[in-house]
A and B are shown apart, each in its own frame.
Chain A
């Protein structure tokens, strides 16, 4: 318990360390100024790069043996051919996985997930969805996520976990056969991996679109405020 508190203090220091040197406001006020602490910004952009590489190379790998009646245009895939794509995929996977684990641990230990993404209430969700679809959802305070954002961010974290686990299940169906079995076997794991990708790409479309519509949110992910 003591160690846990010490850890949390440490992460709080990391969270606000950048601020402390330039800001003279009392600590209680400072906490409101930073929307995204430095570790969120760093892991966010590392993840963005790793995701783009994983998705681009993943599409090229998909093309070698398509699950559905379509293939991805060569103009949007990475790797040139199957071997090149596999090299990219199995290099970027380390970046994605290590960065993802760091993000999950920090998100849980600092309490950021609990504070920012929870709770998601059903009645708020309905109202916020309606507001979002009519472009009436407020983004005045970027430090507080509305319930639609909470649902999407939590959902994409979950999709990230599923895509890594199903990827491991496809990569190692013998050594990690228990995990593969959990996804319903090798062939089923390929579909899970594909749909998790589709969910993440769907999220990305909305996410990038909204960052363009609300440029302040992009600035916050770059500078912290």
Chain B
């Protein structure tokens, strides 16, 4: 469907499309709520079908879409996430992924080319050198994980809104889609993409972004949960189609704004 799905330069193919089966309740099951009926009182009150059957899942997905709209409405494009001081940075900053750290993708920086596509004028891929040469901004913000924990980190890179301008992107489009080296993907709303703190991150704590934090590039947005901040970004599309994402497709809320 998309040009980006072809072989990706600088990526070990063994690491592509890792399955998150370990984290899923039961990979053989299509429904993510199966095995969820464990609150005795609820089961008694409603009959267990309502708690873990397909009707419950459908209803919960409808509410989750409603929550996307509520969060989009609540999102203030001018509201900045709080920034912190150097001393508040969490060191070492935690690694997080659905695979162990030593299985994180290894992208060859020399070979790397960021593929860009969709509703943009300039579709030439970008080398790391070109990206490093763009105007850089810095932020010390809190990364909030969907699991609940949080950590303050320091990220440097290019404002995504600035980058989109250079691509000649149609910013009236609804979404920006990110493709990652290990098969991970993410779709975000344009309002968040244009937020002043949404950043194509090339450095962590003023050092070239290390492998564990997403080398060569991460998209950092302090206005969304951590899993909406893709690492190992190798491709980007401006689109009017919601292309979903790794965790969103597995049941996490799509908007996941903070």
A82 adjacent to B146 (CB under 8 Å)? yes
Which secondary structure dominates where chain A touches chain B? helix
A40 to B247, CA, bound (A): 41
- Chain A 97-136 near chain B by CB (<8 Å), digits 1 or 0: 0000000000000000000000000000000000000000
A183 to B160, CA, bound (A): 32
Q: A49-B45, A61-B148, A177-B82 are in contact. Are A81 and B25 (CB under 8 A)?
A: yes
In-complex Cβ contact of B39 among A52, A61, A82, A175 (8 A): A52
- Other A-B contacts than A80-B52, A90-B253, 4 sampled, CB-CB below 8 A, are A80-B33, A83-B252, A175-B74, A175-B76
5 contacts between A and B (CB under 8 A): A49-B45, A78-B42, A81-B25, A174-B80, A186-B142
Instruction: Let me know if B251 is at the binding interface, CB within 8 A.
Output: yes
A175 to B222, CA, bound (A): 11
Residue of B nearest to A190 (CB): B148
User: Which B residues fall within an 8 A CB radius of A?
Assistant: 23-25, 32-36, 38-39, 41-42, 45, 51-52, 59-61, 63-64, 67, 74-76, 79-82, 142, 144-150, 222-223, 247, 250-253, 257-258
A52 adjacent to B60 (CB under 8 Å)? no
A52 adjacent to B34 (CB under 8 Å)? no
Shortest CB-to-CB span from B144 to chain A, Å, is: 7
Q: A80-B32, A87-B63, A88-B60 are in contact. Are A172 and B74 (CB under 8 A)?
A: yes
Task: Please indicate the chain B residues that have their CB under 8 angstroms from the CB of A155 in the complex.
Answer: none
User: Which A residues fall within an 8 A CB radius of B?
Assistant: 49, 52-53, 56, 61-62, 64-65, 74-84, 86-88, 90-91, 94, 171-175, 177, 186-187, 190
Residue of A nearest to B45 (CB): A49
In-complex Cβ contact of B144 among A49, A56, A87, A186 (8 A): A186
B150 adjacent to A187 (CB under 8 Å)? yes
A173 adjacent to B144 (CB under 8 Å)? yes
Task: Please indicate the chain A residues that have their CB under 8 angstroms from the CB of B52 in the complex.
Answer: 80
Residue of B nearest to A66 (CB): B148
Shortest CB-to-CB span from B97 to chain A, Å, is: 15
Residue of B nearest to A87 (CB): B60
A52 adjacent to B63 (CB under 8 Å)? no
Residue of B nearest to A91 (CB): B63
In-complex Cβ contact of A65 among B23, B59, B148 (8 A): B148
A174 adjacent to B148 (CB under 8 Å)? no
A175 to B78, CA, bound (A): 10
A62 to B114, CA, bound (A): 38
Task: Please indicate the chain A residues that have their CB under 8 angstroms from the CB of B148 in the complex.
Answer: 61-62, 64-65, 190
Task: Please indicate the chain B residues that have their CB under 8 angstroms from the CB of A64 in the complex.
Answer: 146-148
Shortest CB-to-CB span from A184 to chain B, Å, is: 13
